[in-house]
Amino acid sequence: MGLKFYVSEAQARASQASQLTNQANQAITALQASIRLFLSAPLSSKAYDSAKNYFMVAYTPLCQSAIMTGEALENAHKKFLSEYQGTVSGIDTDEDLILEEINLSS
């Protein structure tokens, strides 16, 4: 059983990665808006100040990291597919079929 690579499957995975990134970004944007509302609320006490500080130092970088991770995932899928099509082939690859064709022509 040889290598099999289907361009359409790779394109589908890249599309799914893009959709996942978009959905995650929408959720993260909503979370960031909620955090901004909480941080700008006129509430003040030791507990609120502590909670606000926690959200600022923990959730704000986590949201940004999640956005960057999604972008990296999407870009990696696009880059892989582009490089494969540019250096190997723009069509499906089935090693067994290629070897069979080589053996038939020998």
- Model pLDDT, residue 46: 95
- Model pLDDT, residue 105: 84
pLDDT surpasses 80 at 1: no
Closest C-alpha to 3, from 79, 84, 97 = 97
Q: What is the pLDDT of residues 73-96, one digit of tens each?
A: 999 999 999 999 999 888 998 899
> What percentage of the chain carries pLDDT values higher than 70?
100
The Cα 85–Cα 81 span in angstroms is: 6
pTM of the model: 0.76
CA angle 19, 25, 28 (to 5 degrees): 145
Residue type, 13: R
Distance of CA 19 to the CA centre of its chain: 9
Helix (H, G, I), strand (E, B) or coil at 4: strand
pLDDT surpasses 80 at 42: yes
